[in-house]
Structure 1
Amino acid sequence: MPLTDSRGQGVPYSVLSDKPNAQTLGKGIVDALVDKVVMTFASATVRGATIPAPTEGMVTYLKDTDVIQVFNGTEWRTLLTADTAWTDVTLENGWSSQAGGWPAPRLRRNGNVVHLEGHAEWLEGMAIPPQNGRLLGYVPLGFRPANFHADGLVTISSNSGDTPTGRVEINKDTGAVQFWTAMQSTWFGFNATWFVN
């Protein structure tokens, strides 16, 4: 009867009294080790189909979001996420990056923290009227807030030269980025940080 490793990890090995069977020996070792290494999957969906009943301590890497996660017995929790570098926000409704070399609205994920920054204008420099939740664009999967919505501060250059403030809100379900301000302006810059889990 096979014994297991001395580190208590459940990896079997055959003893001299076992009937020789190379396939059984190899399969036993492979099956035991696979659950204990970092398994790679295209996405969480593929992982769920492959491992319908994960066990505590399993570790996986997801290619689509570049995250390493561990199963804690109840759910998959992120351990490590690669720095994604800056990724542009997909803008909608006539919004574009501000002319003059300013950074476009963009995102960067470092670990479990996402940073949002940038400058935007509307319809090639037209005056931006007061806004009440106007859609700017969308944040992709892997960058969305974990709990409810994330808010960020906005600095606005108004026609009168003032710098009133507004806010952006990032929806955790849809990734929608919406904009609020009571002032008319010509461009705005914003900054926000939030946790993804």
Structure 2
Amino acid sequence: MPTDSFNQGVPWLDNSDKPDLRAGTKGIVDALTPRSVMRFSTAAERNATITAPQPGMIAWLTTEKLFTGYDGTGWVVLAAGSQKWTTISLAAGYAHDGNSNGTAQYRIVNLFGEVSLMFRGGIDITYSSGRPPNNSQINATALPTPARPTTKRTISCACSVQDTTLSSVKLDINPNGTLVLVGIGSTSENPPWVSLNGCFASL
């Protein structure tokens, strides 16, 4: 049984082969399917189905919204699906558009092959007796599971230089989906706004 002209191993029946509709069509289907973009609900379903992956295989994960490819040693992220910006649900005492930086939002992106969390927007902060609201946790609703890191990620965010000696503050992105500002409220460090523009974190 000969194969295709592109050396991809896709078989087809020749005139000299014994007529066998099932063998002919099954051979083509079995050869083309792993060379197409396969679709699975999750990475777990992909791994359970493809127990012996071959280099070059590509699979789309519906839940994670990721294109993944097998590089010979493991599955790697090739690209993230179209991820719309999602507005962060802010806790009481925090407001969107701090320093006219826009609504505080996030989205999941593929940054150099690494699934990452991207932020934009600004946050206004209203202090009570010098203390930040909600114990410095800015979000009222935790980030959804796909947007949560495997371990705590700490990033630096620009802030106002008024009412503080700081020019930036730390933001902890926790595995439970909470976003917590670190350093504000202590020793009268009360910047009235924090910017999330240009902030990234690996998941």
Same fold (TM over 0.5): yes
Provide the secondary structure at the position in 2 that maps to 1:70: strand
- Across the two proteins, how many residue pairs are aligned to each other? 189
Deviates more, 1:180-189 or 1:56-65: 180-189
Q: CA contact under 8 A between 2:85 and 2:107: conserved in structure 1?
A: yes
Match of 1:37 in 2: 36
For residues 25-174 of structure 1, what are the structure 2 equivalents within 5 Å?
A: 25-91=24-90, 94=92, 96-98=94-96, 103-112=102-111, 114-121=117-124, 125-127=126-128, 129=131, 134-137=136-139, 138-144=142-148, 149-156=153-160, 160=163, 164-171=167-174, 173-174=175-176
Greater helix fraction, Structure 1 or Structure 2: 2
Q: CA contact under 8 A between 1:121 and 1:188: conserved in structure 2?
A: yes
Displacement of 1:63 in angstroms is 2.1
Greater strand fraction, Structure 1 or Structure 2: 1
Displacement of 1:72 in angstroms is 1.0
Please state if 1:184 is matched with 2:190. Answer: yes
> Residues 69-118 of structure 1, C-alpha deviation per residue, up to 9 Å, x if partnerless?
111122211112244231123445x4543378763321134432542123
User: Which residues of structure 1 form unaligned runs of 5+?
Assistant: none
Provide the secondary structure at the position in 2 that maps to 1:168: strand
Deviates more, 1:146-155 or 1:68-77: 146-155
Amino acid at match of 1:193: F
TM-score scaled to structure 2, two decimals?
A: 0.73
Displacement of 1:176 in angstroms is 3.2
User: Which residues of structure 2 form unaligned runs of 5+?
Assistant: none
Provide the secondary structure at the position in 1 that maps to 2:47: helix
Q: CA contact under 8 A between 1:97 and 1:103: conserved in structure 2?
A: no
Aligned residues: CA RMSD: 3.2
Displacement of 1:27 in angstroms is 0.7
Displacement of 1:65 in angstroms is 2.9
Q: CA contact under 8 A between 2:170 and 2:182: conserved in structure 1?
A: yes
**CA distance, structure 2, for counterparts of residue 62 and residue 104 of structure 1:** 29
Amino acid at match of 2:190: Q
Amino acid at match of 2:4: D
**CA distance, structure 2, for counterparts of residue 126 and residue 148 of structure 1:** 25
Q: CA contact under 8 A between 2:164 and 2:190: conserved in structure 1?
A: no
> Identity of paired residues, percent?
26
Q: CA 1:107–1:3 in structure 2 vs 1: closer, same or farther (change >3 Å)? A: same
